[in-house]
Structure 1
Amino acid sequence: MTRRTWTKLVIAAAGATLLLGALGCSQSSGSAANHDDNARATDSPRLDALLAMPPASNDAEMAEWRSALYALTTDDVLAAMSRLREPATGGDADVRRVLHAVAMYGGSTAGAALGTALRDAAAQYLRSTKWAEPRRFVMAQLALTRHPDAIRILADHLADEAVCESAARGIAQIGGDGARVALSRAPRRGACAQSADWALGLLDQGVLGDPALEGKPTEGDAVAAHQKIAALESAQGADGHRLLIECATSDDPELRRGTIRQWAATPTIDRLLTEGKRPLLGELGDANSALRSAILEVLLIRDEPVAPEALAVATTDSDRNVRHLGLRALSRLSPDSGMAPILAYAERADEQERAAIRPILAESRSGNQRLAGGLGRSSEGVTALLIEALTDRLARERLPAILDVAGPNAGERVHIAAAEAIGILGEAEQVPEVLRRLPGARDDRHRAALQEALVRLARRPDAGGASAAIVSAINPDDEAQFAMLLDVLGQTGGDQAWGAVRKALDDPRPAVRDAGWRAVGRWPIPAQLQDILELARSTQDEGAHVSALRSAARLAVENQAVPVSQRVILLGAVLKAARRAEERKVVISRLGEIRDSSALAVLLPISDDPELSREARTAMLSNAEAVVSTRTEISRMVAERVLGRPRAADATGSGITTAGSALPADDPLAVRAQALLEKVAEYEDFVIDWMTSGPYTLENVGAADLLERSLAPELESAGVQWTPLRRSPNTEPWYIDLAPQFGGDNRAVYLWTQVYSPRNTEARFEIGSDDGVRVWLNGEVVHTKYAVRECERASDIVPVRLKAGWNPVTMKVANGTGSFAACLRVRAQDGSRMPGIRVTTSSEVR
């Protein structure tokens, strides 16, 4: 690529901005158009003074800048948020820098007040503005603080499809029990449910890193990055040119991303590349591919039309990333005339490159008609690529054109792509068309694609008689065709399909018989499970027995139409039908997938079998790990059995009373069992048996004041009603979710129970609340705390003294807004378990 063509592309990056200026479209007018009536900018002298400060050049100036940042109040931060704009309208880069700095420093101990200001301002701003991108930006800053109180603010927006993914990501980034609770309570619909499930998956996988290490500023790198980005707007000449290149091509991903976002939002930075062309050209050789990538990313973020000639040159670049960014820019910024250079690139590309082009075409802004226009006019490889892109775009209206181009004279790749398109874009009425094409399959890949299309079509909810049509198409005299369609029927299911499969099992031809048993092994419908189990018992063929047995075990686990206990019974029957230890091990592993303690009834008797012990213990651990938060005693027993520790007689009814053989400490099962014991310790001894009274409200009295007021249960007033707590089925047992029963703003609820101690002893209460809490023990106040927060385990640790016998405990929880919850655990002074502790709400004891 020549320097001249890259200069043209660089100038194009600023073209749209210059054009707007020529037309008299001022930046301020564009900004105002994106401004909410409910989030108008307010006067903020402190914010304006901070924005006016030049980049710090020494420690003294850095200290002055930091002092000005720490001086910002909630109103100042809200004023900064009110100046945010939608992308490409410009004018908000400075306040974005300030808000990012507020988040970075607000997450530190020294910046605690700044973090509070950010959260309070964000709560107001997110409720009052409708623009999606600024809200996503503010949510990202909230997450950077890693503060549990931000969860509540983000959770209020999990039901908004425009920002639910950002809210869910932010909650997951903060992490902790409150994050799990908030995400588990997200609306179960559409994108909102998907975002919450995805974020819960991130938490489960631990892919968000150590919260203690992420998002915290240092006095060095983070500050330097902010200052460099800030300096871009005022930089000049060759020095500014070098600074832009340094930031936009940095190895520090945060600095690079921040620079590109800032550059995209601040068109005036373009002057660093369009002024002083000689030094600029000297920097744009082939070695500076990172800068060329940055230019293209800026164009994509700005999302403004660009002449395709200026972009097409990027497709000939020596750097693969630059080429692909150029293709993406063509597909999005020049959708009408950009398709030709994209297809030209695809013609000279190899298969690997075409695979990379496929998602670019799928996301192109060119219409389906324009993509379909290239069918038949391009080479075989590019025609196949266009079919794949149309399939990815779910362009069902283009299926006739796809089938036309996949005629007798089309190449193999076109036929395979068309077969995949039929399965995804077609309806059940396309089954005859696929059956017609099947005998003429070019090779195994084409045949497999057609078979997969039949399976997809027959599995459609509205498929109706698709399986019947496939059965009717079977030619019993054509051995190869019979076997081929049996492979399909084994994946579609249905009564008629099962009849054909059963008939094939008695066929004298080995190829047909084998295909029938393959169909049994892949059978997808639990309705035939008992038939399959009987086949496993009765067949004398060892391979057929294994195939049927494994299919029965899989279907037993997947049968969601029956209760867990019934699935366990079915797996027990499959286990009895197994003839060899290897098959029994397969069934035992399936029992581990049940993830319910009821499977222990089957696993316990075989956990000491020398051949099966390891698999049984593994499955038992899986069961116990799945229920550790709800069945702590059983989970502890399983862990101790796996470790080979002796136990006394079991009082829980689990039947786990003896120890297996001991395992070495470094054995993977022993490590899992020890980890399970540690997890059990996190959930044990929470008080979950409560009586409740409320809710109580007072006119014009907020939650903080309500916590201090003595309400009826404290005055022992006549007529106070106490009812058992109704547990929420969707929360972990330690979490006392008061919202379903008592939800609302500015109200209080009382909880009462009794804790039994076998002796006089020092202990501690581990308390969590959302929001404020006051606790009485034996009639004396032992703890009061008002805070706007999510309910977390052990937010407050309170030393107490329990007397021998029953100790009445009352907990008052006051809620401001949103979620409403509490938790209490009784532990020894050092945080360990207290033997002999019991809890009851029995009126006889009371």
Structure 2
Amino acid sequence: MKSFVCSLVAAVFLFAASPAASAQVTPEQVEKIKQALPDKPVKKPKKDRKLLIFTLSKTYKHDSIPFASTAFTLMSEKTGAFTVELSNDMAAFEKANLARFDAILLNNTTSLTFDNPKYRENLLEFVKNGKGLMGIHAASDNFYTWPEAAELIGGYFDGHPWVGNGTWQVKVDEPGHVCNKGFSSASFRLSDEIYRIKQFNLRKNSRVIVSLDPVASVNMKAEGVRSTDKDLPISWLRDYGKGRVFYCSFGHNPAIYWNKEILAHYLAGLQFAFGDLEAETTPVPFKIGSALDFDEFDKNLASLADYKYGQSLADHKDIREFVTFASQDKKVMDAVEAKLISFLQSDASVDGKQLICHLLASFGSKKSVNTLSKMLYDSSTVEMARFALEGIQDASAGNALREAALKLHGDAQVGVINALGNRKDEKAVSELSKLMNSENIAVADAAITALGKIANDQAIAELKNARQKSAADRRPALTFSLLNAADQLLAQKKITEAHAIYKQLFAKQEAHPIRYAALRGIVQCNVDDTGALLIEVLRNDTPALRQGVAMIVHDLPADQDIRGIVAALPSLSAADQARLLGVMSARKDAELLKMALQLSKSDDAAVREAAFELIGKIGDENTVSYLAEVAANNKDDATAARKALVALSGDQVDSKIASLLPEAQKETRLQLINSLRMRRAFDKDGKIAEMLLQSAMDEDASIRLASLRALQNIADARQVETLTGLLLKTSDEKERSTLETTIVAAVQKNGITEEKNQSATKIVMNAYTQTKDSETRQSCMMVLAKIGHDSSLPVLTKAMSESDAALKTAAIRALSEWPNDKPVQALEGIIRDSDNVLDRSLAMRGYVRMLGASSERPEEQTAGLFEEALKLARNDSEKKMVLSGLSNQTSYQAFVLAKTQLAVPALRDEAEIAVVQIAESTLGAHPEEVKAVLQQILAESENATLKEDAQRYINRIEKFEGFITLWQLSGPYTHSTADIFHYEFPPEKADGNAEWTNMTEISDKTTPWLVNMTNIYGGSFCAGYMRVYVWSEKEREAQLELGSNDGIRAWLNDKLIHSNDASRGVTPADDVVNINLNKGWNTLMLKINQTGGSWGACARIRSLEGSEIKDLKYQLEMK
């Protein structure tokens, strides 16, 4: 077995060094892993075990994948507990293959979806039938669309505020658990990235044995932590059928894989998954109280006691988060609520009390009512107390509010009445009924509104009774409240009661808004024949109400019968017909379609237009013939019918259109053909294309041309031979040109492949050799060029030597259209040798385009070819063509070449355009040179738009001026166990033994202000140092602007002046540090910490106002 495992270890190292891997496992790191591994299994295996290590990542690929694979492979060798096999192929989940294994390890896999349903079934059965699944770290970053697997593993990734370059407090929930025997302490700190898990019944199915400590301040102060981040499991295990699952969130940082305690934890978890190690899996509920820091809560309450409006709400935010979490446990919440009540009873600020009352509205109970009810009678606290009591759902809160409603006055009384209404307090109806008659109009209105919200039988009766007896000025408020009551009843499915109120309020003497709302309510109740009612309104009611019917119909449920409305459409006014037709498109109804067809013949143009639009939306293949006839023969409605024909949906519509082609009259055929083109008909079996090919042979030229144009959207490689045959036969110039486009479109339909291109090229080449007609041969050449298969290149190149001038020019034109740069030398020959102006122009156009096309040649070489093209150009027109192509280049050499042409008056305009366009991609690496030329254009150009662009690029250059680009570098450095960010590597030590190298060139030409450590070092989970000597003419205060990816530390003259253990991308001036520069030379050193992915930094020194300091100098050696 040992030789087998050794070969696997070698395979892992090969994997780690491959281009696909994002990090390499060095021999030194392998040795660290070996030394840290357990010497023997936790439990002797019951039989030989085999582990499948699966490493596929569909999105983010973790640098730690090869480290994990190496660790488990070496673990298998050292302990003898299992053997391993690696795979990143989904075929590994074939049932027969899985049968070879005892467990699967998901090694930092990401975004696995298991789209193959068989693989899903195989994985679940694998575990359910008695085998094991283990996941480390990113194994939970999968299964977002597969709930069963998400529940199997316990949940899925929901962020990681606890980033890989941080050090976090870990809590061993069960120190005595067999899988935790390797941990020497029940609480420890660890540097790794810890996932927040979106739990899928995790606490119900699994036993959590390791967690992130929710009380530790270092954990809770991490950027991005949420108020709900309390239950933070790291490791757990569970039974699944006869099988077992173990997951551990550790595993982002490579150093994890030479951590003895974590490796022991891994081994125990894996042996549990194999079934060799018995372990307790009974789920344990999360204890909310253990995650709450009451001392911190008390401090926040004490601080909130002095809060004034407008001050920071940080304490309130922390209190709200605490209370929100505590509310999940009644006993814990009882203790919390007692503290909140004490706060209200204290001499805390009114503004602080208001914030606590807002909390009690959501989380308060009967215990708070007594204190809050007393606050109702204090003018400074009445509103906040009323708000809190309104939200507390205990009956005692209602009692307090009802009592206060009779004792308070003015705005305070209004607020309490509103609260009773919002609570739908039926016990308050009697008191509210009396208050409807209050002399205070605001109080009376509040009582009326509250009764409408309560909407029980008694409240409605009181409203009706008051409405009958009310004065005219009180009637509107009572009517609106009654309408609101009907809405409440409808929402409660009390249809009969709601309908009765709506019907009463629909009376003609009511105001329009009331009648419209009542009509809508009646229709929604759907008790009587609502269609008849709407028809009656449309025929006999006011214009304002008639206009609103369409929206009521639009909002009707799809299953509500509207046949009566449809049948009545002809008897309505034209305006009503158009409006109703316009809102019925969601209904695919045979009677409605029949009516739309009838109304499409209306005398009213607006009705006809609406009818045709509706036909397009609800029609089917049976309406095709009618629409085509109208589009062909009815001048007034042709456009509307044409749009409807194109809009028709249904699987049979396209084939129906095609089937009508042979027998249709000319104008109708044209409409049918054009509709197929605009619909881009789906032609699975090729029958539609065949019908169009028949039409393309018609005697009528317009039919032929329309058919060929339609085929551009429908034909595919199957029709290329027939289309090429038509090209041989036609003598019409328009048809020939259209056929060129159609043949190429057919070849390219459904994607370009070598096989299709080769086959089509052979067909067109045969046609080229068969015909002697010059114009047809020219067309064939254009088709061959646009297909662009290499087999036709010799034919076109040879054609450039034809004695027939037209053929020769056609060959040059064709080669100038070639999709890559293979004909570039042949075109250059024409440019050099031909005296034909047209041929030279065509060749130059293609030559310039090919020079600028994407190529593997170096940019400098491409710029040189453009320079040669300028020399080859014989006139200004050709030179302008070259400059036009040059403007799309991105190299500095291209910029310099364009700049030289600014001095040529005839080329000045084109040269300016080229210079400014190229400037955008070169200003980063050559800011001073580019800025000087742009300033020249600003001063001399007459092109206003170009000057705006030039100024914008100058502004961009100036934004990054002053960044230090001369640096000495040292690194990269790494350490097996230490926190790299804080560890003192040689550059930080006084012995001066660090090795420094000078930067000889800019590390990233697109961002020259950035020292791109990724380009310089590569590396993973390491640190690098940057050093420069800064000369200042005098002692001065200044600002040091820093940007880094990831963390950064800075020293000035050997004194630490800045430290930010960040995880971020580089943004200039993310950190700004005030510094004191000595007169003369100063030493600036930066340390950059890399925690995965790209890394680098930037720095510049500015005045305290942020402006440039003119007399600073930088050098790499102290002189």
TM-score after normalising by structure 2? 0.43
Contact 1:793–1:823 (Cα < 8 Å) also in 2: yes
Matched, 1:680 2:957: yes
CA distance in 1, matches of 2:844, 2:549: 61
Partner of 2:765: 471
CA distance in 2, matches of 1:710, 1:483: 75
Contact 1:630–1:732 (Cα < 8 Å) also in 2: yes
CA distance in 2, matches of 1:482, 1:305: 54
**3-state SS, counterpart of residue 659 of structure 2:** coil
Q: Tell me the alpha carbon deviations over residues 301-343 of structure 1, each in whole angstroms, 9 at most, x when there is no partner.
A: xxx996544885789895999889968975xxxxxx9565688
**3-state SS, counterpart of residue 1068 of structure 2:** coil
Deviation at 1:497, TM superposition (A): 4.5
CA distance in 2, matches of 1:674, 1:340: 62
CA distance in 1, matches of 2:1038, 2:779: 71
**3-state SS, counterpart of residue 403 of structure 1:** helix
Matches within 5 A, 1:748-767: 749-757=1023-1031, 759-760=1033-1034, 761-767=1036-1042
Letter of the aligned partner of 1:687 in structure 2? I
Q: Which moved more, 1:487-496 or 1:285-294?
A: 285-294
Q: Tell me the alpha carbon deviations over residues 63-118 of structure 1, each in whole angstroms, 9 at most, x when there is no partner.
A: xxxxxxxxx99346999xxxxxxxxxxxxxxxxxxxxxxxxxxxx99999999999
CA distance in 2, matches of 1:109, 1:370: 67
Letter of the aligned partner of 2:1099 in structure 1? L
**3-state SS, counterpart of residue 375 of structure 1:** helix
CA distance in 1, matches of 2:739, 2:316: 62
Contact 2:1026–2:1085 (Cα < 8 Å) also in 1: yes
Q: Tell me the alpha carbon deviations over residues 392-443 of structure 1, each in whole angstroms, 9 at most, x when there is no partner.
A: 65x5x32244214531576878755764676666665643221112245596
Question: Of the candidates 381, 391, 398, which is equivalent to residue 685 of structure 2?
Answer: 398
CA distance in 1, matches of 2:558, 2:200: 30
**3-state SS, counterpart of residue 766 of structure 1:** strand
Question: Of the candidates 703, 708, 722, which is equivalent to residue 433 of structure 1?
Answer: 722
Q: Of the two structures, which has the highest relative contact order with CA contacts closer than 8 Å and spacing of 6 or more?
A: 1
- Of all paired residues, the percent bearing the same amino acid is 19
Q: 1:693 to 1:479 in 2, by over 3 A?
A: closer
Q: Tell me the alpha carbon deviations over residues 196-244 of structure 1, each in whole angstroms, 9 at most, x when there is no partner.
A: xxxxxxxxxxxxxxxxxxxxxxxxxxxxxxxxxxxx9x9999779999x
Question: Of the candidates 444, 450, 454, which is equivalent to residue 739 of structure 2?
Answer: 450
Matches within 5 A, 1:412-811: 419=708, 430-439=719-728, 446-456=735-745, 457=747, 460-462=753-755, 463-464=757-758, 466-474=760-768, 475=770, 477-493=772-788, 497=792, 500-501=795-796, 512=807, 515-519=810-814, 521-558=816-853, 560-643=855-938, 662-663=939-940, 667-688=944-965, 689=967, 691-693=969-971, 714=988, 732-736=1007-1011, 749-757=1023-1031, 759-760=1033-1034, 761-770=1036-1045, 772-785=1047-1060, 790-811=1065-1086
Contact 1:73–1:114 (Cα < 8 Å) also in 2: no
Q: 1:695 to 1:324 in 2, by over 3 A?
A: farther
Contact 2:848–2:882 (Cα < 8 Å) also in 1: yes
CA distance in 1, matches of 2:1025, 2:912: 40
Q: 1:631 to 1:780 in 2, by over 3 A?
A: same
TM-score after normalising by structure 1? 0.54
Q: 1:601 to 1:811 in 2, by over 3 A?
A: closer
Partner of 1:124: none
Letter of the aligned partner of 2:950 in structure 1? A
Deviation at 1:680, TM superposition (A): 0.8
Contact 1:358–1:389 (Cα < 8 Å) also in 2: no
CA distance in 1, matches of 2:318, 2:705: 58
Letter of the aligned partner of 1:432 in structure 2? E
Q: 1:429 to 1:608 in 2, by over 3 A?
A: same
Q: Which moved more, 1:275-284 or 1:783-792?
A: 275-284
**3-state SS, counterpart of residue 823 of structure 1:** strand
Q: 1:286 to 1:476 in 2, by over 3 A?
A: farther
CA distance in 2, matches of 1:412, 1:576: 48
Contact 2:677–2:710 (Cα < 8 Å) also in 1: yes
CA distance in 1, matches of 2:826, 2:865: 12
Deviation at 1:578, TM superposition (A): 1.9
Partner of 2:524: 274
CA distance in 2, matches of 1:715, 1:834: 31
Question: Of the candidates 71, 74, 87, which is equivalent to residue 226 of structure 2?
Answer: 74
Letter of the aligned partner of 1:375 in structure 2? A
CA distance in 2, matches of 1:279, 1:418: 48
Deviation at 1:563, TM superposition (A): 2.4
Q: 1:478 to 1:440 in 2, by over 3 A?
A: closer
Partner of 1:252: none
CA distance in 2, matches of 1:779, 1:75: 41
Q: 1:73 to 1:516 in 2, by over 3 A?
A: closer
Matches within 5 A, 1:266-415: 274-275=524-525, 307-309=588-590, 312=593, 340=622, 348=630, 366-367=650-651, 371-372=654-655, 374-377=657-660, 380=669, 383-384=672-673, 387-388=676-677, 391=680, 393=682, 395=683, 397-408=684-695
CA distance in 2, matches of 1:117, 1:359: 61
Letter of the aligned partner of 2:694 in structure 1? G
Contact 2:884–2:914 (Cα < 8 Å) also in 1: yes
Deviation at 1:795, TM superposition (A): 2.4
Q: 1:468 to 1:111 in 2, by over 3 A?
A: farther
- Figure out how many residues of one structure are paired with residues of the other and give that number: 576
Deviation at 1:559, TM superposition (A): 5.5
Q: 1:428 to 1:548 in 2, by over 3 A?
A: same
Letter of the aligned partner of 2:776 in structure 1? Q
Deviation at 1:444, TM superposition (A): 5.3
Contact 1:491–1:523 (Cα < 8 Å) also in 2: yes
Q: 1:601 to 1:815 in 2, by over 3 A?
A: closer
Contact 1:289–1:319 (Cα < 8 Å) also in 2: no
Q: 1:785 to 1:580 in 2, by over 3 A?
A: same
Deviation at 1:471, TM superposition (A): 3.3
CA distance in 2, matches of 1:484, 1:800: 73
CA distance in 1, matches of 2:1079, 2:899: 38
Q: 1:382 to 1:605 in 2, by over 3 A?
A: closer
RMSD between superposed Cα atoms in Å: 5.7
Q: 1:732 to 1:240 in 2, by over 3 A?
A: farther
Q: Tell me the alpha carbon deviations over residues 792-832 of structure 1, each in whole angstroms, 9 at most, x when there is no partner.
A: 22223333333455433233445778775543233344434
CA distance in 2, matches of 1:420, 1:470: 19
CA distance in 2, matches of 1:109, 1:507: 87
Contact 2:616–2:643 (Cα < 8 Å) also in 1: no
Contact 1:490–1:519 (Cα < 8 Å) also in 2: yes
Q: 1:794 to 1:358 in 2, by over 3 A?
A: farther
**3-state SS, counterpart of residue 593 of structure 1:** coil
Deviation at 1:720, TM superposition (A): 6.4
Partner of 1:145: none
Q: Which moved more, 1:718-727 or 1:800-809?
A: 718-727
CA distance in 1, matches of 2:226, 2:612: 44
User: Which protein has the larger Cα radius of gyration, Structure 1 or Structure 2?
Assistant: 2
